[in-house]
Chains A and B, each alone.
Chain A
Amino acid sequence: MAAAARFFIRGANSKLPITGIGNGSQSSFGGTLVKLSPSSNSRTKTQRRHAHFTFQPDPERTQYVIFGEDVAFGGVFRCTVGKDRVFNTPLCEQGIVGFGIGAAVAGATAIAEIQFADYIYPAFDQIVNEAAKYRYRSGNLFDCGSLTIRAPWGCVGHGSLYHSQSPEAFFAHCPGIKVVIPRSPVQAKGLLLSCIADQNPCIFFEPKILYRAAVEQVPVEPYTIPLSQADIVQEGSDVTLVAWGTQIHVMREVANMAQEKLGVSCEVIDLQTILPWDVETVCKSVVKTGRLLISHEAPITGGFAAEISSSVQEECFLNLEAPISRVCGYDTPFPHIFEPFYIPDKWNGDQPGKDTLLTIQSGSSIQMGSMSPLCLAS
């Protein structure tokens, strides 16, 4: 919770009141949900200036009660716990993760927070060499399965190099951990509770641009959403769009644009878990649509789209009617003033969508193949 407070203080455009933070009466988990709660509703409009997507509440999942002001920094998700359960640590990421591993090894359920995903690298050794390998190397004598690492993730409009990164691909190359990214409050709660309950060390990346923008109805009672299962957000027949986190909302808009302007039916899939990822759902979809576009904010080279693309190509070679398209960030550090030009926004995504339509109409797969998404983005 206190780490969350630091985020609010450091996030330049945050206007959330921070009263009540640091009273030590909330779990980290409560803090997360508070961040995603509608208490910030009134602020969202002022931030749309930077928004490159529009958040769409899921109409099928509105049967649950809404978080209100009465739950901000307390209420239904507040755990009345002692100071020994929620506490500040010294400012040291390798220490935070190492400490969390140790607590988990000794049997505690440890939920560690790294202030920004950009600052997770000092803990890379503890995550990759230690957390991920604990069970394997000890022959299952010891494990740190009850460890969850949360970290704000993704671009935020003005975060520049060190408040914008999407480091999931670095971790996707590491057997032994799970990497999970939600797209909205409902998924955030369900997936986070799954991560906490899962008997493997999990990294839970929270798209921080959604902390204030995303508002939807979230069930009060605990529920879980299974890990390693992609979610078909929208069914379609002409092309499969795969993304995760904030980018799902971009893909939905792309799907709408493609439908309206080009009459193309897009299937939108939220991968949700990066590692181990749901190969089956994605491949089934591509077998049906014959086309795949993957999009992520992170740089394209070595990004996780490469892994998906390569796997789908192996599994669905006979079904693919066009080269798989990757619409990603450029291979540069994440810039400050150039952010609107950097991110793979809906216009980037829409162009391959258009090409897909042309492909479908002309019955040729050559056109899309000739268009590099990176060229299109300029």
Chain B
Amino acid sequence: MMAAVKSMNKLYGVCVHAARRTAGLKASRLFQHRAFRVGAVQRQQPFDSSLEKPQFPGASAEFVDHLEFIQPNVISGIPVYRVMDRQGNIIDPSQDPQMTLLNTMDRILYEISFYMTNYGEEGTHIGSAAALDPEDIVFGQYREAGVLMYRGFPLDMFMAQCYANADDLGKGRQMPVHYGSKDLNFVTISSPLATQIPQAAGAAYALKRENMNRAVICYFGEGAASEGDAHAGFNFSATLECPIIFFCRNNGYAISTPTNEQYRGDGIAARGPGYGMLSIRVDGNDVFAVYNATKEARRRAVAENQPFLIEAMTYRIGHHSTSDDSSAYRSVDEVNYWDKQDHPISRLRHYMTARNWWSEDDEKSWRKQSRKTVMEAFERAEKRLKPNIELMFTDVYQEMTPNLNKQRDAMWRHMKQYKEHYPFELFFQ
């Protein structure tokens, strides 16, 4: 049994070690292959009765002659990978990613923080999005607007969706922040939690068959990871060898539920090896750590057709949503610590200031400029009419069914008769 524990620890070690080897480090091919093989061999040992070892098809292991349960390791869990400290200093220069990225990252990072309720998690979005190929398909939950922003989704489109006006690509059918963009390969968000996880696995499988060097990234919170669909998605992607990155934003809360009521293991990352998945835990407030981990996971997912799990530790600084007051279940001190002392944006600002890439003046003018841009988009979106009411009936099926045609006609007859009771003036006619 100890052997099993050891091999498990080894597997963890391998994961962490492997993921730490960034693209810059040029990790040896041989090493990677061995790391991959470890899992593969353990899953499927060939039958050989001549060997003095268990021949059970379900697992590859040694016998042990004393009773010992495997202890979950939660006190000293999987370490959190980071590149820069809270003051924005690079700890290990070999881990510093390419600098050219910074400007883009920074601008976008700043832009989002003004109006989205992604407070505290901006680093996870931008860091991971920057490490992806634009052709990679993104499946998200609903706190990944930064990914869309990084890919160039226009402010006006964000606003159009939130206002559900006539410009909304979703035709005003979904609640605010349920974005989607075909052009940017960002699959439309839906409210049911974790449903996107097995879907992402299926999409990754389709991409693998296409053989076009594309990958899928699938974001979810640590709360959603409790859903059955998360289990399904992890297991399917491992057994069907899908090029996918599972990106868990562990921000400590699912609405009011703290993580100790969500799980008792070592977070989400510790589940990965149980599915035969290479896994890593990163500091989600460190864009470079997120970037490095995603970059390497993406590279290997595509090259080796296997799933990767990244757990980004972060903190949800804002309320869960506008209908939630988080002060009812957590302390102001706690929130302040993360907001003031360990925030992805402030960390990046320290980093940039130290290199003279950013100054107080830049900060001021950028704040002013981005606020203005956002407010203008706001006003434009607000003034727009809502979509034509006809659009209530289309896209249920690809074609209009006779039944729906009939119901639409009935609606119009009704509307004509009782027009004054409905907000017609707000809608395109």
Hey, which bits of chain A sit against chain B, CB under 8 A? 84-85, 87, 89-90, 92, 94-95, 97-108, 110, 122, 125-126, 129-130, 133-143, 145, 175-176, 178, 199-200, 228, 276, 279-280
Contact = CB atoms under 8 A, between A and B. Distances in A.
A176 B397 contact: yes
B198 A95 contact: yes
A106 B210 CA distance: 10
A137 B190 contact: yes
Interface residues of B, number: 49
Contact of A125 (B174, B180, B192, B202): B192
14 contacts: A90-B236, A94-B232, A98-B202, A102-B200, A122-B228, A135-B396, A135-B397, A137-B170, A137-B178, A138-B180, A138-B188, A139-B395, A141-B169, A141-B182
Given A87-B240, A228-B401, 20 more contacts: A84-B209, A92-B235, A99-B201, A99-B202, A99-B232, A102-B201, A102-B206, A103-B202, A106-B204, A106-B216, A125-B229, A129-B195, A130-B190, A135-B398, A136-B173, A139-B171, A140-B395, A142-B180, A142-B187, A145-B398
B87 interface: no
B202 A129 contact: no
B199 A130 contact: yes
Contacts of B137: 106
A90 B203 contact: no
Contacts of B190: 129-130, 133, 137
Contacts of B402: 276, 279-280
A103 B205 contact: yes
A276 B397 contact: yes
Interface string B198-230: 111111111111100000100000000000110
B361 to A, nearest CB: 41
Contact of A107 (B174, B206, B394): B206
A139 B188 CA distance: 9
B243 to A, nearest CB: 12
Given A110-B202, A133-B190, A199-B398, A139 B228 contact: no
B395 A103 contact: no
Contact of A101 (B174, B202, B395, B403): B202
Contacts of A105: 187, 199, 202-203
B203 A102 contact: yes
A126 B195 CA distance: 7
Contacts of B202: 98-106, 110
Contact of A137 (B188, B198, B208, B239): B188
B121 interface: no
A98 B198 contact: yes
B233 interface: yes
Contacts of A89: 236, 239-240
B283 interface: no
Interface of B: 137, 139, 168-171, 173-174, 178, 180-182, 187-188, 190, 192, 195, 197-210, 216, 228-229, 231-233, 235-236, 239-240, 394-398, 401-403
Given A126-B198, A141-B169, A200 B207 contact: no
A103 B236 CA distance: 12
A87 to B, nearest CB: 7
B232 A276 contact: no
- Which of B139, B168, B180 has the most A CB atoms < 10 Å from its CB? B180
Given A141-B170, A276-B403, A136 B198 contact: no
A89 to B, nearest CB: 6
- Which of A94, A99, A142, A178 has the most B CB atoms < 10 Å from its CB? A99
A126 B202 CA distance: 13
- Which of B137, B168, B182, B202 has the most A CB atoms < 10 Å from its CB? B202
B178 A136 contact: no
A95 B398 CA distance: 25
B199 A101 contact: yes
A125 B192 CA distance: 8
A215 B85 CA distance: 73
A140 B178 CA distance: 14
Nearest to B182: A141
B199 A141 contact: no
B192 A98 contact: no
A87 B190 CA distance: 29
B233 A98 contact: yes
A139 B239 contact: no
A55 B190 CA distance: 45
Contacts of A101: 198-199, 202
Contact of B403 (A142, A178, A279): A279
Given A98-B229, A98-B233, A200 B182 contact: no
B132 to A, nearest CB: 16
Contacts of B232: 90, 92, 94-95, 98-99
Q: Which 6 A-B pairs have the closest CB atoms?
A: A102-B202, A98-B198, A95-B232, A102-B199, A138-B188, A106-B206
Nearest to A93: B232
A120 B304 CA distance: 33
B416 to A, nearest CB: 22
A79 B394 CA distance: 36
Contacts of A97: 198
A361 B181 CA distance: 65
B236 A92 contact: yes
A107 B137 CA distance: 12
Nearest to A129: B192
A101 B401 CA distance: 22
A195 to B, nearest CB: 13
Contact of A108 (B195, B206, B398): B206
Nearest to B209: A84
A126 B190 CA distance: 11
B169 to A, nearest CB: 5
Contacts of B229: 94-95, 98, 125-126
